[in-house]
Amino acid sequence: MSDNEILNMKGIVKDYVLGDEVSRVLKGINLSVKRGEFLAILGPSGSGKSTLMNIIGCLDVPTEGEYRLSGKLIADQDEASLAQIRNKEVGFIFQQFQLLQRQTAYENVELPLIYANMPEKERHDRVIEMLDKVQLAHKVNHYPNQLSGGQQQRVAIARAIAANPTILLADEPTGALDQKTGAQIIDLFHSLNDEGRTIIMITHDRHIASHASRIVRILDGELSEGDLSDA
Ligand SMILES: Nc1ncnc2c1ncn2[C@@H]1O[C@H](COP(=O)(O)OP(=O)(O)OP(=O)(O)O)[C@@H](O)[C@H]1O
Ligand SMILES: [Mg+2]
């Protein structure tokens, strides 16, 4: 891996076995991502986007192929070190926000910092700083059901970046939002990317993908470098 490469996939295959039928959902994915990139993975429903995201985020393992994240060969890690890699390297953002409903905005953002063993005073300052960054400093004590969809997604983004992960990994981050609110989320991604954060955003929406600095397409489990003209 070159110095500024943070992710490298070679020949990644994912098979799902149902009964005696094997379906190959990822068919030999090669992908290299450099620090500071804002990458969109664009593909239609069923093309394998979430399957790929789960592998990138170390939530699932490939059937075949080699995956390195921050230089570490993922297949070599045991469950405990995988969990550690997930916490340290990846900040997840999901279509349905996936906030803890019984915890406030503050507590949701604090959680990854507790996992990271950050001392309480530092943690408090960090949570406030993160909620301020997503312009929700005035909503710290609100529960998710007291926030709009766009506000919930901003809490989720604050949570995702709180522990300063290597990559921000977003699966259809604007999928549950109206166009205007979605555009605000994309603006936020732009400013996070300007700060040097690496973003991988998965989407079926060409318009959303067009905001990234690099687009790769996934179709039927195969990846190709692409732009928006070759649709
Ligand atoms: N656990 C599983 N077992 C069997 N097949 C699966 C499993 N998960 C996904 N698949 C199949 O893999 C294919 C890709 O699914 P995936 O969820 O990765 O698609 P996607 O691109 O994220 O779609 P969408 O845009 O609808 O979210 C689909 O045909 C799906 O049915
Ligand atoms: Mg999906």
Q: Which domains does the chain have, with CATH numbers?
A: 37-61+76-230 (3.40.50.300)
- What digits encode the pLDDT tens for the residues 105-123? 999 999 999 999 999 999 9
User: Could you tell me the distance, in angstroms and rounded to a whole number, from the CA of residue 21 to the centre of ligand 2?
Assistant: 22
Is the CB of 45 within 6 Å of ligand 1?
Answer: yes
Q: Is the distance from CB of 186 to CB of 213 less than 8 angstroms?
A: no
- What digits encode the pLDDT tens for the residues 130-175? 999 999 999 999 999 999 999 999 999 999 999 999 999 999 999 9
Return the pLDDT at 226.
79
Is the CB of 47 within 6 Å of ligand 1?
Answer: yes
Q: Around ion ligand 2, which residues have CB less than 5 A away?
A: 49-50
The band of 99, judged by pLDDT with boundaries at 50, 70 and 90, is very high
SS3 21: strand
User: Could you tell me the distance, in angstroms and rounded to a whole number, from the CA of residue 46 to the centre of ligand 1?
Assistant: 5
User: Could you tell me the distance, in angstroms and rounded to a whole number, from the CA of residue 48 to the centre of ligand 1?
Assistant: 6
Say if residue 227's pLDDT is above 80: no
Say if residue 24's pLDDT is above 60: yes
In this prediction, what percent of the chain has a pLDDT beyond 70? 98
Pocket test for ligand 1, best of 14, 17, 51 (most atoms within 8 A of CB): 51
The band of 87, judged by pLDDT with boundaries at 50, 70 and 90, is confident
For 3-8, what is the mean pLDDT? 91
Q: Is the distance from CB of 132 to CB of 188 less than 8 angstroms?
A: no
Pocket test for ligand 1, best of 22, 23, 25, 216 (most atoms within 8 A of CB): 25
CA-closest residue to ligand 1 atom 1 = 16
Tell me how crowded residue 95 is: count the other CB atoms within 10 A of its CB: 17
Return the pLDDT at 229.
67
Strand order in the sheet with 90-93: 90-93, 167-171, 198-203, 38-42, 214-219, 222-226
Return the pLDDT at 1.
59
